[in-house]
């Protein structure tokens, strides 16, 4: 078990930017989640830590060791791939035991560790099966067992749950969390699913276009987004981002005028409002005026899309909401929104 640190790490392929000037410290026993949209460089970052990709510049340390130029074999990290990457000709037991076999661990010791790892992921009854005879969830558990069997310095997991159906994803999420609590090994976990990130992470790194947008605890990311991008990515549904200008301490846009504790007139600003932080009020108290465009029911809530001026706004209402399309609605923010600079996107 060790800490991992990346300093000034970049990866380019010709003109393509994979990762740009990334500095990151993962503490011992920490569960760090890389979160961001597809193509933002999460996998590239993870592959550089695993040694499968060589950084164009920068250094990577695992524990006290500079591993920048070492191959995957010498790094002692374990990786779980999105598509499981099990060895199809081997049984579950042989798959789990492969890292031990590669290290020349003795037969009896192997058997003991395989059984232990299989037990932790509840696969003890499947040791003699081939991967083809397993369900997706079971395959991913084999991949997990193969990672934990040799007590590596760190776990790397690249979207391990994204090929599973929704229910399985939740139970596997629980399993991963539990394993981490039991074993405590530092983990880097990649996902584009903000809910997964929120529930699993000690800290989240939000990435965009190969660069870090914000590093923080789930709480910090959710309640204090550093940029408009983070606010627009986190939450389900994520925050509404509305363009407007500040005039006399008021955020103004067509159909919107929200009090803003900000100075500077005519300044371009982005207002972030959570869908659940908007309430319906009568005309006199309204800060926002809109027309209902669409209504979606999710079972426990109703998502209402409105047009406000030229912009769109999503509001989360109770399940038995009675709004109808084309209805005019007056609204008010029930929590302080987030204000971001219109040019840089940074929180003000």
Partner 1 sequence: MKPVKLAEGTAVALAQVLFIGFFVFPIIWIFMMSLKNFRDIISYPPKFLFSPTLQNYSETILGAEGALRAGELPEYVRFLINSMIISGGAVCLAALLGVPAAYALARSGIPGRKHIAFTFLSFRFAPELMVILPMYLIYTQIGLYDTYLGMVLSHQLICLPLVIWIMMSFFQDIPIEIEEAARVDGASILLTLRAVILPMSGPGIASALIIAFIFSWNNLIFGLVLAGPNTRPVTMGILQAMTFDQIKWGLMAAAAMVSALPGMIAAIYLQRHITRGLTMGAVK
Ligand X SMILES: Nc1ncnc2c1ncn2[C@@H]1O[C@H](COP(=O)(O)OP(=O)(O)O)[C@@H](O)[C@H]1O
Which among 230, 212, 211 is positioned nearest to 220, based on CA atoms? Answer: 230
Specify the residue, 207 or 271, whose C-beta has the smaller distance to Mg ion: 207
Strands in 194-325 per DSSP E:
203-208, 211-216, 240-247, 250-253, 256-259, 267-273, 278-280, 288-297, 301-308, 311-318
Both structure tokens of 7: 């300093």
44 makes contact with Mg ion (CB under 5 A): no
Report the nearest approach of ligand X to the CB of residue 212 (Å): 12
Burial class (CB in 10 A: 0-12, 13-18, 19+), 264: exposed
Cβ-proximal residue to Mg ion, closest one: 43
Give the span between the Cα atoms of 338 and 348, in whole angstroms: 8
79 interacts with, out of partner 1, ligand X, Mg ion, none, CB within 5 to 8 A per kind: partner 1
> Can you tell me whether residue 204 is helix, strand or coil?
strand
Region 73-112 residues binding Mg ion, contact defined as CB under 5 A: none
Question: What does the binding site for ligand X look like in residue numbers (CB under 6 A)?
Answer: 13, 16, 18, 36, 38-44
What is residue 41's DSSP assignment? S
Report the nearest approach of partner 1 to the CB of residue 132 (Å): 12
101 interacts with, out of Mg ion, partner 1, ligand X, none, CB within 5 to 8 A per kind: partner 1
Both structure tokens of 201: 């992470």
CB atoms within 10 A of CB 342: 16
16 interacts with, out of partner 1, ligand X, Mg ion, none, CB within 5 to 8 A per kind: ligand X
Specify the residue, 170 or 183, whose C-beta has the smaller distance to partner 1: 183
Specify the residue, 46 or 221, whose C-beta has the smaller distance to partner 1: 46
Q: Which of 43, 191, 227, 311 binds Mg ion (CB under 5 A)?
A: 43
Cβ-proximal residue to ligand X, closest one: 43
Question: What does the binding site for partner 1 look like in residue numbers (CB under 8 A)?
Answer: 50-52, 71-73, 76-79, 81, 83, 85-90, 98-99, 101-103, 146, 150
Report the nearest approach of partner 1 to the CB of residue 126 (Å): 19
Both structure tokens of 255: 């159909």
Report the nearest approach of partner 1 to the CB of residue 149 (Å): 10
140 makes contact with Mg ion (CB under 5 A): no
Which among 32, 36, 33 is positioned nearest to 238, based on CA atoms? Answer: 36
Which residues, at least 6 apart from 78, have a Cβ–Cβ distance to it below 8 Å?
99, 146, 147, 148, 150, 152, 154, 155, 156
18 interacts with, out of partner 1, ligand X, Mg ion, none, CB within 5 to 8 A per kind: ligand X
Report the nearest approach of partner 1 to the CB of residue 320 (Å): 48
Tokens 């000709």 belong to residue:
89
Report the nearest approach of Mg ion to the CB of residue 327 (Å): 42
Which residues, at least 6 apart from 202, have a Cβ–Cβ distance to it below 8 Å?
30, 31, 32, 217
39 interacts with, out of partner 1, ligand X, Mg ion, none, CB within 5 to 8 A per kind: ligand X
88 interacts with, out of ligand X, partner 1, Mg ion, none, CB within 5 to 8 A per kind: partner 1
Q: Are strands 65-66 and 256-259 parallel, antiparallel or unpaired?
A: unpaired
Which among 281, 271, 272 is positioned nearest to 332, based on CA atoms? Answer: 281
Specify the residue, 147 or 258, whose C-beta has the smaller distance to partner 1: 147
Specify the residue, 71 or 325, whose C-beta has the smaller distance to partner 1: 71
Report the nearest approach of partner 1 to the CB of residue 85 (Å): 4
Report the nearest approach of partner 1 to the CB of residue 73 (Å): 5
Give the span between the Cα atoms of 30 and 187, in whole angstroms: 6
191 makes contact with Mg ion (CB under 5 A): no
For binding to Mg ion (CB under 5 A), which residues are involved? 43
């Amino acid at each position: 078990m060790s800490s991992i640190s990346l300093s000034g790490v970049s990866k380019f392929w010709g003109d393509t930017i994979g990762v740009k000037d990334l500095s990151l410290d993962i503490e011992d026993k920490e569960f760090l989640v890389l979160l961001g949209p597809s193509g933002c460089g999460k996998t590239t970052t993870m592959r550089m830590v695993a040694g499968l990709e060589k950084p164009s510049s920068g250094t990577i340390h695992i524990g006290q060791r500079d591993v920048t130029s070492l191959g995957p074999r010498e790094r002692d990290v374990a990786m779980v791939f999105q598509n499981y990457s099990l060895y199809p000709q081997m049984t579950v037991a042989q798959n789990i035991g492969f890292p031990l076999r590669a290290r020349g661990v003795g037969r009896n010791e192997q058997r003991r560790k395989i059984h232990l790892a299989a037990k932790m992921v509840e696969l003890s009854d499947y040791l003699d099966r081939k991967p083809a005879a397993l369900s997706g969830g079971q395959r991913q558990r084999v991949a997990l067992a193969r990672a934990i069997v040799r007590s590596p310095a760190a776990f790397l997991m690249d979207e391990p749950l994204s090929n599973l159906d929704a229910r399985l994803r939740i139970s596997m999420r629980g399993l991963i969390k539990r394993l981490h609590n039991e074993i405590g090994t530092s983990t880097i976990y990649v996902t584009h699913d903000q809910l997964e990130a929120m529930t699993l992470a000690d800290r989240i790194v939000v990435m965009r276009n190969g660069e870090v947008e914000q590093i923080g605890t789930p709480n910090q990311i959710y309640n204090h987004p550093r940029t408009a991008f983070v606010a627009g990515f986190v939450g389900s549904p994520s925050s509404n981002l509305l363009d407007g200008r500040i005039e006399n301490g008021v955020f103004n846009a067509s159909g919107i005028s929200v009090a803003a504790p900000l100075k500077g007139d005519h300044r371009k600003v982005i207002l972030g409002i959570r869908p659940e932080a908007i309430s319906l009020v009568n005309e006199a108290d309204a800060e926002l005026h809109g027309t209902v465009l669409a209504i979606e029911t999710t079972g426990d809530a109703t998502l209402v899309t409105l047009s406000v001026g030229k912009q769109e706004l999503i509001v989360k209402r109770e399940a038995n909401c009675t709004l109808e399309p084309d209805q005019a609605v007056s609204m008010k923010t029930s929590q302080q929104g987030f204000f971001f600079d219109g040019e840089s996107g940074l929180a003000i």
